[in-house]
Structure 1
Amino acid sequence: MVSTSATGAGSQAIGFVGLATSHPYTDADTVVARHPDASLHVWEPDEDRLVAFLERNPGARSYESLAALIDADVHGFVITMRPPDVSDVVLACVATGVPLFINKPAAATLKQLDALDRVVQPIAERVLSSSVLRFANPVREFAAGFTRTEVLTARATVRHDVGRWLHGSTDWQDDPDTGGGGIVTIGLHGLELLASLLGVDFEIISSMAQVRRLQGLRSEDTAVIAVRWADGILGTIDVVGVAASESYGVSLETVNGPISLELPAADTDPFGYRGAIDAFLEMVDAAREGRRVASPVAWHETRAILRGIVTASALAHRVAN
C-alpha cells in the first residue's frame, strides 16, 4: 500500500474513512483549499481508489487498517463507505470523540438506517450527514424569499446521469439494497432540498420507478416520488438518471405565483461542497477548542430524510426492507 508523510502536525488533521464514491476526493480538495496547512489521513482497502487519492493529495498519509487510522489522533473523520458498512464504521469511530461527517447516502434500507440510528443517537451533536446542496448559497437565499404559509405545492427535479453504473464505475450503487439505486443515490438530493426548505414533517405517499433508457440497470434511471407535508403542502420529486449534465431544480407554486431555483447557479459554491465542509470544519474547531459541538443539521432531520428516501425506494421496488 502506498503511503507518504503527513504534514502540518499543528493544524487540523482530517481522517478520510473510505473512498467509496467521488465525494471524498472533492471533500479533500475543499479541505486543502480552505485550510492549506491541514493534514489528510486516509484508509481505503481498494488499492486503485487509494492510489488515485494519494496522487491527488501527495502529502496525505495512508493507513493499513481502519484501526490504525482511528489510532492516529485526527481531529475529525469524513466517512464514505457503502451503506451496509456505515453503522459499523461509525461505531468504530465513536470512541475517538471527534466530529464525524458521513457522506450520503448513509443508509440504503430501513434496516441499515435503524442500525445507524442506534449508533448515532448518543453522539448526534457531533454527526453531520447531508446532501451538500442545502449548503449552497442560492438555496439559502431562496429559502429567505418566501413564507411557508404561501406555498401550495412543491417540486424538485434532480438530473444526474447514472449510465456509469453499466460500465463498472461504482456499480454497487445500482443495487437498491447496497447503494440504494437511482432513487436513494440521486433522489436523496431532491428530498433534501425540499426538506431543507419546507421541513421534515412529511410522509412519502407513493413512488414509481422505471428503466427508460439504460437497459441493464438493477434499479432505475427515472422515478417520481410523491410527498405530503402535515399542513397539506403537496410535493413531487422527479429523478432523472439520463442527463447530459448534472443539475437540480426546485419549483414552488405559491399564492403569489411560481418561484423557482436552479443549481448550478452563478455562485462561487454552486453545489454547496464548500459550505458543507466549512460547517464540518467548524465542528472540528469547536471540538478542538473545547466549545460545544453542534451539527448544523440535526440528526432527527437527517434521519427523517433518510427514512423518507429509503421508504420511497422500498415502495418503488415493492419490498419490505
Structure 2
Amino acid sequence: MTGRTSGLRVAFAGVAHSHPWADAANLVDIGATVSAVWDADDPARRDDFAERFGAAVAPDPGALLADGPDLVVATPRTPRAVAVAAACAAAGIPVFLNKTVAASEEAVGAFDRLDAAGSRFSTASVLRFAPAVAGFAERVDPARMLAVEVSAQHDIAGFLTPERDWQDDPAGAGGTILNVGLHAFELLDAVIPGARPIIAVGRSARGDLPTRSETVALALGSVHGVPLTVSVSGVPGPDRYAIRVLAPDGAHELVLGDGDDLGYTGLARRLVDFARGGDAPVAWRRSRESYRAALELAALTREPAPVLVAEPARELVAEPAR
C-alpha cells in the first residue's frame, strides 16, 4: 500500500503502553480515522488518547466492536489479550495486537486455537517492519551462516513505575525476558524467516534494581542447527537492538537504536493492507516461535534454577599449592 487512505476506521482496544499512540498518529497521517477506544485498566490514559485522536470512548469491548471498525489495534494488558482477540474474531474484525500478548504456554495455546479457527489476527515486534531490517535480511543468506548473535536492550525503568509495573510481573506480562526479549527473538525471525530458536542454557541477574523479574538474561542455543547467542537487558541507557551473523565471508551486523526508523511507519502501512483484506502483517506460526523461545528462556532462568543476584566483585585469593 502506498500513498494515503481514506474512509478506514480503526478502533483501539487498550492503550497500556506507548505503542498505540504511535500507531494512531501514523494511521491518521495516512488518512485513517480513529473511531473509538476502550481500556479497562487506565481510564486517564484512555481519556487522554480519546481527546488527542478525536475518538469516542467505548464502555466495553462489545460497544467498541459494535460500531463496526475496519480494524482493531489492541494493546491491552497482557492477561486480557486472548479475550480481546477472541472478541474481534467473533465479530469478524481483523485485529493487530501489540506485544506482549502471552506470558504462558496456556496463552500461546489459546492463540493457536484462534489461528486454527481461521481468525484474522497478528502480533509482532515493530522492529520487523523497519526498513533496515528488511534490507539486512536481503543481504544475509541463512544457508551460509556459521553463528548468530542477537540482542535487545531496553531500559526497564518504565516497567518499575506504579503505572506500568504490571509489565514487570512474570505471571502477568512476563517481565523483562518477555517484554524486552521478544524484540530479540522477533528480530531473529525477521532476518532469518522461519527461525526456530532452541535455548540450551540460560542465566539471568537482577542486580540492585527493584524488579520482580530480571535485569538481564543471557542464553546459548541454536537456530537452524548453528550456534545462537541471545542477550536481553533492561539496564539504564538508550535502546539498542542488534543482530550479528557470522558467515564464511565475514561478520554481518545490524544495529538499531534511538533515532533510527524502528518500523512504526512500515507497520501502519501493513495494517491498512490487513484491514482491506490483505495478509496478516506476520503469521501467528512465526510469532509463536518467538514467544516459545522467550518462555523457554524464562523457564530456564527462573525455575527451577534461581535468578542470580549480582554481588560486589571479590578479590581473588590464590590457594596455597599442595
CA contact (8 A) 1:159 1:240 kept: yes
The answer as to 2:97 corresponding to 1:102 is yes
Q: Which runs of 5+ in 2 are unaligned?
A: 1-5, 306-322
Residues 30-49 of structure 1: matches in 2 within 5 Å?
Answer: 30-35=26-31, 37-45=32-40, 46-49=42-45
Q: CA deviation at 1:266?
A: 7.5
Q: What residue in structure 2 maps to residue 5 of structure 1?
A: none
Q: What residue in structure 2 maps to residue 308 of structure 1?
A: 293
Partner Cα distance (1:72, 1:227) in 2? 47
Q: What residue in structure 2 maps to residue 6 of structure 1?
A: none
Q: What residue in structure 2 maps to residue 154 of structure 1?
A: 148
The answer as to 2:122 corresponding to 1:128 is yes
Aligned-partner residue type, residue 311 of structure 1: E
SS for the counterpart of 2:187 is helix
TM-score for the superposition, normalised by structure 2: 0.87
Residues 220-235 of structure 1: matches in 2 within 5 Å?
Answer: 220-230=214-224, 232-235=225-228
What does the per-residue CA deviation read over 1:92-149, in whole Å, with 9 as the maximum and x for residues that have no partner?
Answer: 111221211011011011122112221232125x222110101100000001112122
SS for the counterpart of 2:262 is coil
**Residue 170 of structure 1: which of 133, 149, 164 is its match?**
164
The number of residue pairs the alignment matches comes to 298
CA spacing shift, 1:54–1:207, aligned 2, 3 Å: same
SS for the counterpart of 1:129 is strand
Q: What residue in structure 1 maps to residue 274 of structure 2?
A: 283
CA contact (8 A) 2:238 2:257 kept: no
SS for the counterpart of 2:48 is helix
Runs of 4+ in 1 over 4 A off after TM superposition: none
TM-score for the superposition, normalised by structure 1: 0.88
SS for the counterpart of 2:253 is strand
Q: What residue in structure 1 maps to residue 79 of structure 2?
A: 84
> Once structures 1 and 2 are overlaid, which stretch shifts more, 196-205 or 26-35?
196-205
The answer as to 2:23 corresponding to 1:27 is yes
Partner Cα distance (1:27, 1:319) in 2? 39
Aligned-partner residue type, residue 209 of structure 1: S
Aligned-partner residue type, residue 294 of structure 1: D
Partner Cα distance (1:263, 1:138) in 2? 8
CA contact (8 A) 1:11 1:39 kept: no
